[in-house]
Amino acid sequence: MTDIVELGENLYEGTTQNWEEVVIKSEIPVIVDFWAEWCMPCRMMSPVFKETAPEYKDKVKFIKLNSDENRDISMRYGVMSIPTLGIFVNGEPIDGVVGTVPKSTLKSKLDAVLQKIKE
């Protein structure tokens, strides 16, 4: 088992090493924040992402993945600009958002995914 670093309530660090465990094999949907240290819009998105995570505990897992340190994952999913939020269900990307979005948009995306998988 790979070390999984907890960054906050329901918020974890994603890496190339733990990707399989935290995203692909997750039993609940996962939202991944593809970001980088130098990216100012990423810094604006980060508090929104962190603040939203506890509201979806046990429903959606929140992962932050540093694109510079994990380029192979970013390239695998075609992440061309950051921040990009990718939503994964059963290990497959099913939705996402590119750019900084308000909390309401983030929540409506997640709620739509949760509704869809209930059907």
CATH number at residue 17: 3.40.30.10
Residue 4 scores a pLDDT above 90: no
pLDDT at 2 (0 to 100): 61
Domain that residue 19 falls in: 6-118
Neighbours of 98 (CB within 10 A): 14
pLDDT-based confidence at residue 85 (cuts at 50, 70, 90): very high
Residue 7 scores a pLDDT above 70: yes
pLDDT at 20 (0 to 100): 94
Residue 1 scores a pLDDT above 60: no
Smallest Cα–Cα separation from 83: which of 61, 104, 106, 113?
106
Structural domain count, the chain: 1
Residues tagged active-site:
39, 42
35 contacts 83 by C-beta, under 8 angstroms: yes
Is 1 a member of any domain?
no
